[in-house]
Structure 1
Amino acid sequence: MKQAESLSVELDAFLVEYGKRTNAHDVGRLRELIADDASYWLTDGAYEGVEAIAAAVQRTFDAIRDEVYTISDVRWVYVSADFAVVRYRFHWVGFVDGRRCEGRGRGTNALARREGRWQMVHEHLST
Structure 2
Amino acid sequence: MNILNKYIKATNTHNFNEVKKLLHPKAVYFFSNKTCSTHEEIQEFFEHTWSVIENENYAAQDVIWLHAGTESATCTYTYCYEGYINGKYASGQGRATNVFLKESGEWLLIHEHLSPLPK
Q: Verify same fold: TM over 0.5.
A: yes
Residue 44 of structure 1, CA deviation: 2.8
**TM-superposed deviation, 1:104:** 0.3
Q: Does 1:88 align with 2:83?
A: no
Give the match for residue 105 of structure 1: 94
Partner of 1:43, secondary structure, is coil
- Map of 1:74 onto structure 2: 63
Cα shift at 1:24: 1.2
Q: Does 1:34 align with 2:16?
A: no
CA RMSD of aligned residues (A): 1.0
Provide the TM-score with structure 1 as the length reference.
0.87
The alignment of Structure 1 onto Structure 2 pairs a total of residues equal to 116
Q: In structure 1, what is the Cα distance between the partners aligned to 2:33 and 2:50?
A: 14
CA distance in 1, matches of 2:9, 2:30: 21
C-alpha distance in structure 2 between counterparts of 1:79 and 1:20, whole Å: 20
For residues 65 and 56 of structure 1, the distance between their equivalents in structure 2, rounded to whole angstroms, comes to 14
Distance in 2 (CA, whole Å) between partners of 1:51 and 1:18 is: 18
Query: What code does the residue aligned with 1:100 have?
Result: Y
Matched, 1:15 2:4: yes
Is 1:62–2:40 an aligned residue pair?
no
Greater Rg by CA: 1
Q: Report how far residue 15 of structure 1 moved.
A: 1.1
* Aligned mates of 2:56, 2:98 — CA distance in 1: 21
The question of whether the paired residues in 2 share the 8 Å contact of 1:35 and 1:50 is answered with no
Gapped regions of structure 1 (runs ≥ 5): 1-11
- Which portions of structure 1, spanning 4 or more consecutive aligned residues, are displaced by more than 3 angstroms? none
**Corresponding position of 2:108:** 119
